[in-house]
Amino acid sequence: MNSTVLATVAVTGFTVAFFHAAIPTHWLPFVLVSRARGWSQGKALLVVIFAGLGHVALTTLLGVGIAWFGFQVDARVGAAFPWVTGGVLVLIGCYYFWRQWRGGGICHHHPPGGQHHASAHCGHEDEHSHWDDELKQSPIVSRATGDWAAVSGLFVMLTLSPCEGFLPVYLSGVQFGWPGFFVLSGILAAGTLLAMAVFTWLTLIGLERFKVKNFERYEAGLLGALFCALAVVIVLLES
């Protein structure tokens, strides 16, 4: 087991998980719903962690399939597996570069009942996820419905939008077997929940509108660069 490769995969995984969860679609809905319903900071953070666990659980479940497939390929190709992994990571990186070039830097999550379309009123030209407008249309902010409806709506919204960017990290850790898989799953949970809780809390205490729009805009391109760099490391150190 190459400790340098393991450390590189772990750092890459944490970076992907943390910065993906730092995007406002992962924490701003909780802030807005919390304020609309008058929740305490503690309650808002508990809801964030609860929904984040669903997000992590579905991503991990998909990771099981990725890992199992990788184990089968590794058993067949043997010493060539680092080249196979590197090639797949480069292809995935190129896909993210293409998505960035096409203007699809990030996939947004929509709250139940809150699909929003662009209009002259909101000042956006393309269909997008615009939380202030979307949540006005969603029952999860209305006090006419119970808190459980709001919590379950936020949970479903986030759970059904797994962290697709972390799945290639699972593939890159195949050489470390199931122990490596569980380590990466722990890293996914730590990075995701930490980012969601930190950004929710900082916004709730008054630090409004973090300057994360540039990262949000270029998320796909940054992921592409990370995966291509990881592919180079794996091929150079494991071949």
To the nearest whole number, what is the mean pLDDT of the chain?
Answer: 80
Assess if residue 142 is contained within a domain: yes
Q: Which domain range does residue 7 map to? A: 3-106+131-238
Q: Is residue 124 part of a domain?
A: no
pLDDT band, very low/low/confident/very high, at 124 (cuts 50, 70, 90)? very low
Q: Give pTM, 2 decimals.
A: 0.78
Q: How many domains does the chain have?
A: 1
Of 212, 215, 217, 109, residue with least CA distance to 163? 109
What's the whole-number mean pLDDT along residues 125-129?
43
- Residue 119 resides in a domain: no
Give the number of C-alpha atoms closer than 13 A to the C-alpha of residue 186, restricted to the C-beta side. Answer: 7
C-alpha distance from residue 159 to each of 7, 149, 178 (Å) = 28, 15, 24
The better pLDDT of the pair 235, 113 is held by 235
The answer to whether residue 125 is domain-embedded is no
pLDDT in tens, 20-34: 888 888 888 898 888
113 falls within a domain: no
Q: Is residue 117 part of a domain?
A: no
200 domain-assigned: yes
Higher pLDDT, 4 or 95: 95
Q: Is residue 212 part of a domain?
A: yes
> Which residue type does 192 have?
T
